[in-house]
Chains A and B, each alone.
Chain A
Amino acid sequence: MNAEVASVEERKQNLKGMGTARRRVEDARFVQGKGNYVDDIKLPGMLFGDFVRSPYAHARIKSVNKEAALAVPGVKAVLTADDLKPVNLAWMPTLAGDVQMVLADGKVLFQGQEVAFVIAEDRYAASDAAELVEVEYEELPVLVDPFKAMDPGAPVLREDLEGKTEGAHGPRRHHNHIFTWEVGDKDGTEKALAEADVLATELITYQRVHPCPLETAGCVASMDKVNGQLTLWGTFQAPHAVRTVASLISTIPEHKIRVISPDIGGGFGNKVGVYPGYICAVVASIVLGVPVKWIEDRIENLQSTAFARDYHMTGEISATRDGKITGLKCHVLADHGGFDACADPTKFPAGFFNICTGSYDIPVAHVSVDGVYTNKAPGGVAYRCSFRVTEASYFIERMVDVLARKLEMDPAELRMKNFIRKEQFPYTSALGWEYDSGDYHTAMEKALETVSYKALREEQKANREAFARGETRSLMGVGVGFFTEIVGAGPIKNCDILGLGMFDSCEIRVHPTGSAIARLGTISQGQGHATTFAQILASEIGIPADQITVEEGDTDTAPYGLGTYGSRSTPVAGAATAMAGRKIRAKAQMIAAYLLEVHDDDVEFEVDRFVVKGAPERFKTMAEVAFAAYNSVPPGMEPGLEAVSYYDPPNMTYPFGAYICVVDIDVDTGVTDIRRFYALDDCGTRINPMIIEGQVHGGLTEALAIAMGQEISYDEMGNVKGASLMDFFLPTAVETPVWETDFTVTPSPHHPIGAKGVGESPNVGGVSAFSNAVNDAFAHLGLTHTQMPHDHWRVWKTAERLGVTA
């Protein structure tokens, strides 16, 4: 087929632009085992680092003896805090304004904390030697329960902060207190609660979990002493931020540091922060003059590298007798572990938790969050969610269900009654966010209709009657969940990390023969950016996606950006891609008009070409214009066809969705069968439906894991219970149900292409749908709320407590 005579529709298809279920360009290497992950990197003379970790949760370090370790053949060095002090790296700044020990300085604050770093010729020797480092500890009283953190006699955890009454986020009122963060109208909320017809109160705990990407964290540091150049490959979700931080804390000038994120085996928030392993590998490479690799193992990852959640949320929700919500109050006790290493924008120590009014038009609300130290691992990262949005969404979705029980009202009906209405957008919530767009009623109605909600409730009624008659030992639960996310951080005026505004970027170069390369400040960890960003660009500039290379992750080549987490890639870097594309198109239009000898305004863009208005036979294709950009541009115009955009979004985006889960619970075993899960997502404009569906499947499976089994728990000594895949629940294909996906499309009004981001929605919305379903199964027996995770044992315990087990 001749491109010149192809129809508009054929030319559009040829582009594989937005809306196309384009196959992924990344996959060719992955299916052949040719991916390049950090542990695949092998450099001449490279050494391996391994940690000595604390067996105690709270102890003083009396001494460290390296001798036996240094005697192991192949061992090159053993680093302790004392070795890092001369270079001022025994401690490092966290993303949350706190400091964290790189290697234990005088004491340890959690089990698994890094005490010494052993560097050897291979990983076996490093591991042998790590076992031979003799550390003498003196045990100290352990603080595990966050509710006891601020007791008058609670152990002093952070001796480095003693006497400091002011933290990074305001006053500290106890030695284990990190911050108090408050939003909303306190008096107005108290008044609404006091005057309400109906008031529901509940403690909702979102347990400590872990993102557990299949690839653990790691890096390779290579210091070229001749040129003073440091190259650092690693599992970084924000390579540019890592470069800046590395420069600030190492005093190596930023232009002498090159950070590269190669292929990343999943991130889910786990690879946003800066970990002691990175610092130790860099120091070791500087000291020893050869490349040093550090790769943590799974147990180290689960024990020490960035947990998520651990929010204890006490809620009060009030309503009129007929179910109109009148007020919402929430106090959060946030367990941050031994150091405050949350990954949140600087001004938001509890992330965007104040999105907790959810999808409802709640007139008045108040939130306060107290962050405390305990003898647990640091973290508090956004595990497949925007900063603390999953906690907020879980909180409100459980509270609405609890209220529905109290009102004896159907939970779907209560939601419909209180949804923000379509005509209220842009909607300013009681806690200060401006929701960009939404059509919640349509989404919910579609969901209820698709699953035949009424019939499900009738079936449940029959099931309960049969259960009461002793004809079945199975109880049916229907979980209704609705969520509104807040993603795409974010406007620089609100959002920065360590002073770096959270914009993102795209730089495009169109080559003379009409193909192109686009480089972005984000980094894919499986999201398929190389596929989807090329699609955005194909639609914007008329070059087929197959002829556009998308490159990310190398700070020497990519424009500065803040990386990929919090579903920010499409809302921010995707917008930058469209904007840079429009700059290309604007210049191309002038070149095309010049070639066609007409005024700029007399040509218009049509799929892949510029056409003279009213004379469709007169046109220049983008490929022709690209070549002309290198030899015949209009007088006074610079040659070339390149553009860059640094995009500071005017607002966040607010994806939403309606999820319905049906479970059957065997009350005698606690085994919960997920009979059906329906997920309707509205992520605005859809770039690649295949990838969206894949993201939803994955996010729902992570939600299943969290709701039904994941927990990082500690015993009273501060020992981590079950930090291996033997105990930490990752669902297999057998436990994972078949997911039903659906969608509506409500574009974001402020995003250049109307897209909102989707990767995290299913995790945010999924957890509450599962939990609501389990709670719903027992609702007729008087249960209002039971804590996650809903593993078989806990579900059985609930049934036992309610007196229905055999």
Chain B
Amino acid sequence: MAKMHVKLNVNGAEVEGLAEPRTLLIHFLREQLSLTGPHIGCETSHCGACTVDLNGKSVKSCTVFVAQANGAKVTTIEGIANADGTLHALQEAFREHHGLQCGFCTPGMITRAYRLLQENPDPSETEIRYGISGNLCRCTGYQNIVKAIRAAADELNASREAAQ
């Protein structure tokens, strides 16, 4: 199949490549860019393991063509850490509160939570549960994930206030 030229900004870097029009964003990220953080769990956009940030929205990259992401700004789990290389508050909180076990859903879950906390910096427990309901986890029962996201929200809000 004829390939098309795509160009996008991934985790702050301009990248380009050739891809079939039907190439899914997740395959482009994982196989051409070797960004294997986002995972493939279902290929039907139910599980959320492939969640990335696309132009400021959480999307499931298994049901987006890379052609649709042409010219877009994409953030994956590999681009979530702070600019100075330290872990993002969410990454720290997931560790601290045992918010992961097998780790397979974790990149998608954190990437979703990263966007959620920008949409709603001070979510209630219920809002967190609804906010991550597009991301499935088979190991944790979500309780510690919710706890971790809430703790990260507190941490981010505190540091924002301190900066002001």
Residue ranges of A at the interface with B (Cβ–Cβ < 8 Å): 23-24, 26-37, 39-40, 42, 122-124, 212-216, 263-266, 268, 295, 297-299, 525-528, 690-691, 693-695, 697-702, 724-726, 730, 732-734, 736, 738-739
Contact = CB atoms under 8 A, between A and B. Distances in A.
Q: Which of B23, B95, B132 has the most CB of A within 10 A?
A: B95
Contact of A697 (B37, B49, B129, B140): B140
A734 B133 contact: yes
Contact of A34 (B37, B102, B110, B138): B37
A24 B95 contact: yes
B17 interface: no
- Listed from nearest, the 5 A-B pairs whose CB atoms lie closest are A33-B37, A265-B104, A526-B102, A30-B103, A697-B141
Contacts of A35: 103-104, 106
Contacts of B30: 39-40
B87 A31 contact: yes
Interface of B: 1, 20, 22-23, 27, 30-31, 34-44, 46-47, 49, 76-78, 81, 87, 91, 94-96, 98, 100-107, 110, 128-130, 132-146
B44 A733 contact: no
Contacts of B47: 214, 298, 725, 730
B36 A213 contact: no
Contacts of A701: 138, 140-142
A266 B138 contact: yes
Contacts of B139: 214, 266, 526, 694, 698
Q: Which of B76, B81, B104, B138 has the most CB of A within 10 A?
A: B138
Q: Is the interface of B mostly helix, strand, loop or mixed?
A: loop
B141 A31 contact: no
B48 to A, nearest CB: 9
A39 B34 CA distance: 11
Contacts of B35: 33
Contacts of B22: 124
A124 B22 CA distance: 9
Contact of A702 (B76, B128, B138): B138
Contact of B76 (A29, A33, A736): A33
B136 A698 contact: no
A263 B103 contact: yes
Contacts of A216: 41
A525 B104 CA distance: 10
A285 to B, nearest CB: 19
A546 to B, nearest CB: 14
A694 B98 CA distance: 7
Contact of A694 (B39, B91, B101): B101
A694 B144 contact: yes
Contacts of A298: 41-44, 47
Q: Which of A33, A266, A297, A738 has the most CB of B within 10 A?
A: A33
A31 B42 contact: no
A75 B136 CA distance: 35
Contact of B130 (A212, A700, A734): A734
A733 B103 contact: no
Contacts of A124: 1, 20, 22-23
Given A32-B81, A298-B42, A23 B103 contact: no
B143 A697 contact: yes
A42 B141 contact: no
24 contacts: A26-B103, A32-B81, A35-B104, A35-B106, A39-B30, A40-B36, A42-B34, A212-B138, A214-B49, A215-B39, A297-B42, A298-B47, A525-B102, A526-B101, A526-B103, A527-B101, A528-B101, A698-B140, A724-B42, A730-B136, A730-B138, A732-B133, A733-B133, A733-B146
B21 to A, nearest CB: 11
Given A298-B42, A725-B136, A733-B132, A31 B95 contact: yes
B136 A739 contact: no
A124 to B, nearest CB: 7
A37 B39 contact: yes
A739 B147 CA distance: 13
Contacts of A40: 30, 36
A720 to B, nearest CB: 15
Contacts of A699: 141
Nearest to B94: A31
B100 to A, nearest CB: 6
Contact of B37 (A27, A32, A42, A264): A32
Nearest to B105: A214
Contacts of A266: 101-102, 104, 138-139
B136 A214 contact: yes
Nearest to A728: B46
B102 A214 contact: yes
A736 B141 contact: yes
A734 B142 CA distance: 9
A23 B142 CA distance: 18
A738 B36 CA distance: 32
Contacts of B134: 732
A213 B20 contact: no
Nearest to A73: B1
Nearest to A215: B104
A23 B96 contact: yes
A268 B137 CA distance: 13
Given A30-B103, A33-B78, A266-B104, 13 more contacts: A31-B110, A32-B91, A123-B27, A214-B137, A299-B44, A526-B139, A691-B98, A701-B141, A724-B44, A732-B142, A733-B133, A736-B141, A739-B141
A702 B40 CA distance: 21
A725 B44 CA distance: 8
Contact of A31 (B1, B106, B132, B140): B106
A3 B44 CA distance: 55
A601 B41 CA distance: 57
Contacts of B141: 697-701, 736, 739
Given A33-B35, A33-B77, A736-B141, A24 B43 contact: no
A29 B110 CA distance: 13
A732 B133 CA distance: 5
A691 B98 CA distance: 8
A214 B81 contact: no
A714 to B, nearest CB: 20
Contacts of A695: 101
A32 B87 contact: yes
Contacts of B142: 697, 701, 732-733, 736
Contacts of B136: 214, 725, 730, 732
A739 B42 contact: no
Nearest to B130: A734
Q: Which of B41, B94, B100 has the most CB of A within 10 A?
A: B41
Q: Which of B23, B42, B141 has the most CB of A within 10 A?
A: B141
Given A214-B41, A215-B41, A698-B140, A726 B46 contact: yes
B42 A215 contact: no
Contact of B44 (A29, A213, A726, A738): A726
Nearest to A124: B20
Q: Which of B40, B43, B101, B132 has the most CB of A within 10 A?
A: B101
Nearest to A702: B138
Q: Which of B27, B103, B106, B140 has the most CB of A within 10 A?
A: B103
A697 B78 CA distance: 28
Contacts of B107: 30, 33
Nearest to B96: A23
Nearest to B37: A33
A33 B36 CA distance: 7
